[in-house]
């Protein structure tokens, strides 16, 4: 079996550091590649070697597959870990890596290709009896009257999605037939500019849906297991901001059903490595396959916390050709974990990304708190990449304790220089709907309206939401003062307003 001695990490930020740490624990050498914007970054400092691969735009650095492979060969690396984003779901890159005689730490190019297209993915899993959202495959229907008829058969509202889609881009909600043609044209042009592929398809829009996904692991011998679910329904712009494991609404029976379905999806594409099968869940707790992400997921730490399994080490062992060392029955679910993605974004201004310098940056610590990040005080948040600063992860014996720890960790996290989503996260995790577990992907649009709540005064029925939004706004605006206030007084008003339970 090929032993990996040196890994080139084809990524940046927190995930590059996460991979480097796992490699270090396994005594595997690492090479960081970096753009000019990341010269002083943490992965560059932590890796054994670091090579600059180009200017800041990712099209001139982190997306240059051939250049990255050349660096790997020249530095005698024997494997490449792509992390998430960038080249991680690029089948051509995965193929080029293995053609160059290197190990791609991930699934086969064929699995990536099959699952990278939402329609071929649906086709592939259909024979396995996986529930699918009713939809219309537009490449089959050239005639608009036919599309209109098929759409009304499914029933409005409908969602138009990009076949090559990802990151919530190219999605359009259609409420009625009169908007269908126009929205199809818009979605198609958005898809073309975002993915270089204008093809779109239509799905029934599942109202009040939850997004629940299953972590799977497969080895090259064909063994597959699942590592339970992650609840990812707290989203803005169809993108996750807070995740947890297990889901507060999934019971043992549903967990087993979803887990089995996810394993079948992985079987359908001959999967090996770590992957995630995403499901959308309707109000009656019926689940439907959405897509499979053929890589490590941003929110993988919550699964690691509740299973005690290091997913990056498993990825490396699988890439070396080792068998998974445990059976499904050996995997035990223990405790509860939450992840808050701390973005440099302004939640008061429609989550607009921010750039700037981290004047002050102090991570929370203590029992049950994990911070995966790639920044330190004094560093700049570059404009070129995803504005995530850190992942704040807590673990508790149960959900209540994980939430309590998250509140404490948010209090302790000191960031100044850019607006962040920390105060927004505090609003969410203390909201009655979140605390009850009965929330869906509409949470942010249903409950989080700081501007409206402020300008409307106290006219709304839900006074606790208003109090929380107000407290949040004050907290964001006067973060430094309030930090001092909270340190000096355990009985400040703004803190009391945030308490629901
Ligand atoms: P992407 O690959 O762009 O992230 P996904 O298919 O994974 O797109 O969907 C992202 C999110 O969009 C889901 O978590 C869900 O909130 C919403 N979504 C996707 N499909 C549907 C649907 N058919 N009905 C309602 N919401 C949907």
Ligand 1 pocket check: which of 132, 136, 238, 442 to mutate, most ligand atoms within 8 Å of Cβ? 238
Task: State the pLDDT at residue 141.
Answer: 66
Residues 267-292, mean pLDDT to the nearest whole number: 97
If pLDDT is split at 50, 70 and 90, which confidence band does 2 have? Answer: confident
> Mean pLDDT over all residues of the chain?
90
For residue 290, how far is its CA from the centre of ligand 1 (angstroms)? 7
If pLDDT is split at 50, 70 and 90, which confidence band does 307 have? Answer: very high
CA angle 244-249-251, nearest 5°? 105
Question: Tens of pLDDT along 326-378?
Answer: 999 999 999 999 999 999 999 999 999 999 999 999 999 999 999 999 999 99
Does the pLDDT value for residue 113 go beyond 50? yes
3-state SS, residue 345: strand
Task: State the pLDDT at residue 140.
Answer: 60
What per-residue string of b and e applies to 72-110 under the rule 16 or more CB within 10 Å gives b?
A: beeeebbbbbbbbbbbbbbbebbbbbeeeebbbbbbbbe
Nearest alpha carbon, ligand 1 atom 2: 166
Ligand 1 pocket check: which of 88, 158, 164, 209 to mutate, most ligand atoms within 8 Å of Cβ? 209
If pLDDT is split at 50, 70 and 90, which confidence band does 484 have? Answer: very low
Tokens of 219: 């080895």
Ligand 1 pocket check: which of 85, 154, 171 to mutate, most ligand atoms within 8 Å of Cβ? 171
If pLDDT is split at 50, 70 and 90, which confidence band does 139 have? Answer: low
Ligand 1 pocket check: which of 290, 291, 298 to mutate, most ligand atoms within 8 Å of Cβ? 290
Alpha helices (H) along 10-162: 13-25, 42-46, 65-74, 91-99, 109-116, 118-125, 144-154
Q: What is the pTM of this model?
A: 0.89
Percent of the chain with pLDDT over 70: 89
Task: State the pLDDT at residue 1.
Answer: 74
Half-sphere exposure of 6 (CA within 13 A, CB side): 15
If pLDDT is split at 50, 70 and 90, which confidence band does 253 have? Answer: very high
Question: Tens of pLDDT along 32-67?
Answer: 999 999 999 999 999 999 999 999 999 999 999 999
Does the pLDDT value for residue 479 go beyond 80? no
The number of the ligand 1 atom at minimal distance from the alpha carbon of 133 is 23
The number of the ligand 1 atom at minimal distance from the alpha carbon of 205 is 24
Does the pLDDT value for residue 452 go beyond 70? no
Does the pLDDT value for residue 291 go beyond 60? yes
Task: State the pLDDT at residue 169.
Answer: 79
Per the annotation, the verdict on 370 as an active-site residue is no
3-state SS, residue 481: helix
Task: State the pLDDT at residue 490.
Answer: 31
For residue 132, the cross-strand partners are 289
For residue 109, how far is its CA from the centre of ligand 1 (angstroms)? 24
The number of the ligand 1 atom at minimal distance from the alpha carbon of 203 is 23
Max Cα distance, the chain (Å)? 69
Percent of the chain with pLDDT over 90: 82
Does the pLDDT value for residue 104 go beyond 60? yes
- 3-state SS track over 17-31: HHHHHHHHHCCCEEE
Ligand 1: list residues with CB < 6 Å.
133, 159, 165-169, 203, 205-206, 209, 211, 235, 238, 278, 280, 290-291, 441
Nearest alpha carbon, ligand 1 atom 22: 205
Residues 393-418, mean pLDDT to the nearest whole number: 98
For residue 452, how far is its CA from the centre of ligand 1 (angstroms)? 26
**Pick the catalytic residue: 295, 341, 370, 479?**
295
Task: State the pLDDT at residue 355.
Answer: 93
For residue 226, report the phi and psi dihedrals to the nearest 5 degrees: -120, 155
For residue 288, how far is its CA from the centre of ligand 1 (angstroms)? 11
Question: Tens of pLDDT along 150-165?
Answer: 899 999 999 999 998 8
For residue 303, how far is its CA from the centre of ligand 1 (angstroms)? 21
Residues 371-397, mean pLDDT to the nearest whole number: 97
Task: State the pLDDT at residue 485.
Answer: 31
Residues 477-498, mean pLDDT to the nearest whole number: 31
Residues 259-282, mean pLDDT to the nearest whole number: 98
If pLDDT is split at 50, 70 and 90, which confidence band does 231 have? Answer: very high
* DSSP secondary structure of 227-266: EEEEEEEEEETTEEEEEEES-TT--HHHHHHHHHHHHHHH
- 3-state SS track over 394-435: EEECCHHHHHHHHHHHHHHCEEECCCCCHHHHHHHHCCHHHH
Half-sphere exposure of 13 (CA within 13 A, CB side): 23
Nearest alpha carbon, ligand 1 atom 6: 290
Task: State the pLDDT at residue 466.
Answer: 40
Site of tokens 């063994």: 223
For residue 168, how far is its CA from the centre of ligand 1 (angstroms)? 7
For residue 239, how far is its CA from the centre of ligand 1 (angstroms)? 9
């Amino acid at each position: 079996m090929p032993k990996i001695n040196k890994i080139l990490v084809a990524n940046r930020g927190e995930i590059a550091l996460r991979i480097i740490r796992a490699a270090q624990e396994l005594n595997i050498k690492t090479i960081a590649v970096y753009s000019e914007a990341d010269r002083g970054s943490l992965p560059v400092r932590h890796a054994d070697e670091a090579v600059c691969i180009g200017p800041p735009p990712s099209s001139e650095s982190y997306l240059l597959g051939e250049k990255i492979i050349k660096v790997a060969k020249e530095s005698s690396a024997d494997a490449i870990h792509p992390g998430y984003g960038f080249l991680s779901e690029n089948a051509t890159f995965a193929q080029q890596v293995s053609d160059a005689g290197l190990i791609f730490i991930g699934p086969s190019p064929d699995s990536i290709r099959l699952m990278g297209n939402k329609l071929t993915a649906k086709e592939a899993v259909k024979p396995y009896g996986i529930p699918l959202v009713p939809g219309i495959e537009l490449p089959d229907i050239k005639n608009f009257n036919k599309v209109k008829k098929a759409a009304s058969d499914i029933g409005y509202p409908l969602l138009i999605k990009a076949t090559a889609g990802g990151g919530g881009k190219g999605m359009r909600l259609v409420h009625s037939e009169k908007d269908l043609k126009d929205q199809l044209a818009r979605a198609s042009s958005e898809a073309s500019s975002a993915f270089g592929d204008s093809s779109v398809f239509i799905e029934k829009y599942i109202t009040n849906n939850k997004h629940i996904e299953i972590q799977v692991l497969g080895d090259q011998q064909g063994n597959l297991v699942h590592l339970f679910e992650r609840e990812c329904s707290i989203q803005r712009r169809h993108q996750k901001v807070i995740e947890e494991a297990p889901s507060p609404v999934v019971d043992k029976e549903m967990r087993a059903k979803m887990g089995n379905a996810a394993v079948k999806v992985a079987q359908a594409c001959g999967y090996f490595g770590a992957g995630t099968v995403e499901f959308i869940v309707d109000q009656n707790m019926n689940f439907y396959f959405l897509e499979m992400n053929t890589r490590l997921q941003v929110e993988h730490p919550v699964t690691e916390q509740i299973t005690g399994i290091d997913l990056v080490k498993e990825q490396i062992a699988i890439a070396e050709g080792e068998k998974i060392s445990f059976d499904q029955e050996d995997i035990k679910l223990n405790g509860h974990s939450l992840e808050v993605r701390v973005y440099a974004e302004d939640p008061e201004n429609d989550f607009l990304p921010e750039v700037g310098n981290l004047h002050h940056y102090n991570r929370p610590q203590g029992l049950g708190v994990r911070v995966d990040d790639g920044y330190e005080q004094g560093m700049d948040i570059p404009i070129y990449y995803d504005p995530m600063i850190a992942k704040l992860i807590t673990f508790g014996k149960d959900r209540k304790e994980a939430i309590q720890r998250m509140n404490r960790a948010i209090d302790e996290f000191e960031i100044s220089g850019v607006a962040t989503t920390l105060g927004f996260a505090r609003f969410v995790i203390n909201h009655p709907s979140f605390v009850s577990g009965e929330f869906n992907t509409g949470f942010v649009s249903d409950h989080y309206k700081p501007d409206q709540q402020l300008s409307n005064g106290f006219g709304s029925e839900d006074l606790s939401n208003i109090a929380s939004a107000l407290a949040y706004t004050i907290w964001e605006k006067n973060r430094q003062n309030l930090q001092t206030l909270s340190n000096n007084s355990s009985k400040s008003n703004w803190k009391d307003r945030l308490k629901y339970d």
